[in-house]
Amino acid sequence: MKLVRFAGWISVGLMLGAGAVYAQEPASGGKVSTKKSRAAAPKVVQPDENAAQQARREAALRAKAELEASQRAEAEARRLAEIEAREKPLRDADELLKAGKPDEAYTLLEPFEFERSGEVRFDYLLGIAALDSGKPDKATLALERVLAVDPNFAGARLDMARAYYQLGDLPRAKTEFEHVMGQNPPEGARARIQQYLDAIAAFEQAKLTRISAYAEGVVGHDSNANSATNETQVKLGLLTYTLVQDSRKSPDSYGGFAAGGEVSHSLNANWGAYAGVDMRKRSNMALTQFDSAGVDGRAGVMYGTEQNVLKLSLTGGQSYSANSMRRDALGLSTEWQHTFSPANQTNAFAQYGQYRATGSPSTSLTTDARTSGDIDQMIVGLGWLHMLDDGKQALFASVFSGKEMVATPLNVTQPPDGEKRFDGVRIGGQAVITDQADAYASIGWMHSVYEKASNLTINNDRRSEHQYDLTIGGNWRLDKFWSIKPQMALSRKTSNAAIFGFDRTDVSLTIRRDFR
């Protein structure tokens, strides 16, 4: 009986439980009114908002990635365009060289030399173009830059040897050819190098002799043809003298002619001998009493190595001026040149000369004061030459010091001023304007002081002078042999003896023909 009641209770409980579940699940279209159902409503909306936010973040990331990709593409395009812009001249030059057009290749590359100097490939192509278009001097500068970066670049060293060969620098050419030969080049290159070495050996065996000569004519105008003072009167002590016209500044136009030549002979790989002569004549249009002429000769020996050249010369000559004044000259000079690099060279020089005058005495109005008196002269100096990186400009400078000693016998009237000491400096430069033309300029200064007090000075002091000069000109090469040179030379001398001071401007045009 208890079991029946227990089962009944269980049945009632199951029925009540089923009814409760049915009450919590409303029918379709019904409303949920319990607090629990109202609290669960926001959780149904949250997944949609998260998805929208996630979509926005993904869109922003995609936009950023697309922008970065676009920027990278633009940067890469610019980089490739820059590479193409730099490569195109080299590629075009290479094609021109292969087509046998080195002149066009050089013209294409030369404007970029200042900007791209130091790039091995550029310098190498420029060097080959210069060499094959007949500019071995410019080729050496470009190839030197290549070898400075890559000393083992056999091709550049071979072309450097060819450049030296074309320049006539056979010792350097031989050294470079032998260096390349020692690098075990291909058979074709080896045969070509051997041809050059055989040719150099033949030159050395034949003791190469070279002959060169020139002739030139000049016309010009000189504002002071007699190098005289601007003063019309000079004061000597208490007396004042009026100068005649020939002793005062006088302008005139002139014409002239010059010619000369030199022969050199190689005795062996290091020693050589040379001799040369130069002649000149200048005729004034009106002031014929100040016409001048002269002839100078030289002969000597030289010793040369890869970096050093030593010359010893015997010099002599005669000069004529004022129609009746002649000066004979005899001297000895020596010069040492040292090459530090293709861009830097220095030289030291010393000269000793004897000058003897004949003809009208120095007091004659027809005597040119520049050539009166007998003197012995000594000069020593030092010079320097520097080529700029592009090889188109050169700078030079020199300093010198000397002494003029009176050589007049004691039984003859001595010059009133006695011996003279002088020092000077000169600087200048040259620049290539085009392949056919270049320009040059130089400026100089010299100070001279004489040994004795002079009554030609205001206070009977020792005569002291300063001379300044400026030269500006150009050289236009019409072809291999003809050239035209316009030039302007300004000079001024100040002196405490007024009669010796002067200023002048000389403008000239020279036409020259070389023979070689």
Separation CA 228–CA 208 (nearest Å): 49
Q: Are residues 305 and 397 in the same domain?
A: yes
How do beta strands 393-406 and 344-359 pair? Answer: unpaired
pLDDT at 369 over 50: no
Residue 244 confidence (pLDDT): 63
Tokens describing residue 279? 């002649």
- Taking 70 as the threshold, does the pLDDT of residue 362 lie above it? no
Domain co-membership, 186 together with 247: no
Hey, is 426 helix, strand or coil? Answer: strand
pLDDT at 445 > cutoff 50? yes
Greater confidence (419 vs 347) lies with: 347
What pLDDT is stored for residue 315 in this prediction?
96
Same domain, 404 and 461: yes
Q: Are residues 93 and 216 in the same domain?
A: no
Taking the C-alpha atoms of residue 327 and residue 368, their distance in angstroms, rounded to an integer, is 11
Same domain, 347 and 462: yes
Q: Mean pLDDT, to the nearest integer, of 414-430?
A: 88
Instruction: Judge whether 369 and 362 are in contact, CB under 8 Å.
Output: yes
Triad 302, 304, 309: Cα angle to 5°:
75
Q: What is the CATH number of the domain that holds 99?
A: 1.25.40.10
**How do residues 161-190 score in pLDDT, each as one tens digit?**
999 999 888 888 999 998 888 888 888 888
191: helix, strand or coil: helix
Structure tokens at 230: 């601007």
CB 447 within 8 A of CB 423: yes
Structural domain boundaries, residue 97: 86-206
Highest mean pLDDT among 173-182, 187-196, 228-237, 503-512: 503-512
Helix 120-132 / helix 102-109 crossing angle, nearest 10 deg: 140
The reported pLDDT for the residue numbered 358 is 72
| Cβ count within 10 A of residue 472 | 15
Does residue 65 fall inside a structural domain?
A: no
Domain membership of residue 46 (yes or no) is no
- 394 shares a domain with 245: yes
**pTM, two decimal places:** 0.59
Q: Are residues 240 and 96 in the same domain?
A: no
Under the banding of pLDDT at 50, 70 and 90, the label for residue 461 is confident
Q: How big, in percent rounded to 5, are the helix, strand and coil portions of the chain?
A: 35, 40, 25
pLDDT attached to residue 360: 52
pLDDT tier at 312, thresholds 50, 70, 90: very high
**pLDDT(377) > 70:** yes
Q: Measured between alpha carbons, how far is 390 from 367 in angstroms, rounded to an integer?
A: 50
Is residue 15 included in any domain, yes or no?
no
pLDDT: which is higher, 109 or 409 = 109
More confident residue, 454 or 4: 454
pLDDT above 60: residue 38: no
Domain boundary residue, one of 206, 224, 258: 206
CA distances 40 to 26, 35, 45, 140, 343, Å, are 16, 9, 10, 92, 93
pLDDT score of 363 more than 60: no
Residue 407 within a domain = yes
> How far apart, in whole angstroms, are the C-alpha atoms of residue 376 and residue 158?
51
* Residue 392 in tokens: 């188109």
Quote the mean pLDDT of the chain: 82
* Whether residue 192 is found in the same domain as residue 213: no
Stretch 208-212: mean pLDDT, rounded?
Answer: 83
Residues of the chain with pLDDT > 70: what percent? 79
pLDDT of residue 32: 44
The DSSP symbol for 244 reads P
Which one-letter amino acid corresponds to residue 83? I
- The pLDDT assigned to 399 comes to 98
Residue 439 lies in a domain: yes
Specify the higher pLDDT residue, 457 or 328.
328
At 199 the pLDDT is: 86
Residue type, 104: E
Question: 292 and 415, same structural domain?
Answer: yes
Residue 409 identity (one-letter amino acid): P
CB distance 511 to 482 below 8 Å: yes
Lowest mean pLDDT among 4-18, 103-117, 388-402, 492-506: 4-18
Mean pLDDT on 136-163 = 89
Let me know the angle formed at the C-alpha of 261 by 255 and 262, rounded to the nearest 5 degrees: 150
Residue 174: phi and psi, rounded to 5, are: -60, -40
In this structure, the number of other CB atoms found within 10 A of the CB of residue 75 comes to 10
Tokens of 11: 């049945």
Same-domain pairing of 161 and 232: no
Assigned domain for 10 exists: no
Q: What is the mean pLDDT of residues 148-159?
A: 88
**pLDDT score of 496 more than 90:** no
In a domain, 1, yes or no: no
pLDDT digits (tens, 9 = 90+) for 74-118: 777 777 666 666 778 888 888 888 888 888 888 888 888 888 888
The CATH number covering residue 390 comes to 2.40.160.60
Phi, psi at residue 147, to the nearest 5°? -70, -25
Please answer whether residues 308 and 335 qualify as being in contact, where contact means their C-beta atoms are separated by less than 8 angstroms: no
The number of folded domains in the chain is 2
**pLDDT for 3-35, tens place per residue?**
445 555 455 455 545 444 444 444 444 444 444
d(CA 500, CA 502): 7
Looking at the fold, whether 108 and 232 belong to one and the same domain comes out as no
Contacts by 178-186, CB closer than 8 A, 24 or more apart: 180/154, 183/152, 183/154, 185/154, 185/158
pLDDT for residue 453? 77
More confident residue, 267 or 285: 285
Residue range 491-516: mean pLDDT, rounded: 91
Last residue in a domain, options 180, 206, 232: 206
CA distance 107 to 185: 31
Residue 85 has a pLDDT of 61
